[in-house]
Amino acid sequence: NAGVTQTPKFQVLKTGQSMTLQCAQDMNHNSMYWYRQDPGMGLRLIYYSASEGTTDKGEVPNGYNVSRLNKREFSLRLESAAPSQTSVYFCASSPGRGRPYNEQFFGPGTRLTVL
Amino acid sequence: DAKTTQPTSMDCAEGRAANLPCNHSTISGNEYVYWYRQIHSQGPQYIIHGLKNNETNEMASLIITEDRKSSTLILPHATLRDTAVYYCIVRPLSNFGNEKLTFGTGTRLTIIP
């Protein structure tokens, strides 16, 4: 199993450009999450999806949109990138509904720089 | 979710036990203690969780005080590969699929050769 995969690994954008970060998991998990991590900080939740077809805002959703394309895939879109969105983005998944312990499994991250 | 307090950094000699403390004095009765770690440039990795009993798995042991206001993660024989930031997180057990994790800044553990 590959676990949680993310593409791309690195990306540089100019202010105002848009892009989509891709995430996929092969563990048949119901729940998926997007976090961002700024230098020297802990992770902050952007959006999450408790199950296919549902999405909810996390702690820092402004400037982002998400799509739960199917059970495997959860994408994060920046419509108009800003320098404040320079960060490392992590996708995670967990078994979800019906599985109370629900440890989260994280991908390797996407390092995004907005100039 | 209850707030946690951890030391900013710690050192431990290779081969010795690493003991990482965490204070969670406002923990509620239905909240579990989770530990994750993040090795440099990688995504966080789940280590262990517990409610009130001590727990052990292949990676670590978790000791929770009787009043549940603090806990200690123990890595029994630390190796260089255990150098990482360790996060202590408190949150309720849930099966709704919306288990948001609130990460603080954690403890940076450095294993010294």
Instruction: Identify all chain A residues contacting B106, using CB atoms and an 8 Å cutoff.
Output: 42
Q: What pLDDT tens digit does each residue of chain A (115 aa) get?
A: 789 999 999 999 999 999 999 999 999 998 999 999 998 888 999 999 988 889 999 999 999 999 998 999 999 999 999 999 999 999 999 887 666 567 899 999 999 999 9
**What whole-number distance in Å separates Cα of residue A37 and Cα of residue B14?**
29
Q: Please determine, for residue B97, whether its predicted confidence score (pLDDT) is greater than 60.
A: no
* Residue A57 near chain B (CB below 8 Å): no
Q: Work out how many CB contacts closer than 8 A connect A with B.
A: 71
The nearest CA of chain A is from the CA of B67 a distance in Å of: 22
Contact B44 A106 (CB under 8 A): yes
Shortest Cα–Cα distance, A60 to chain B (Å): 12
Q: Smallest CA–CA separation between B36 and chain A, in Å?
A: 9
A96 touches chain B (CB under 8 A): yes
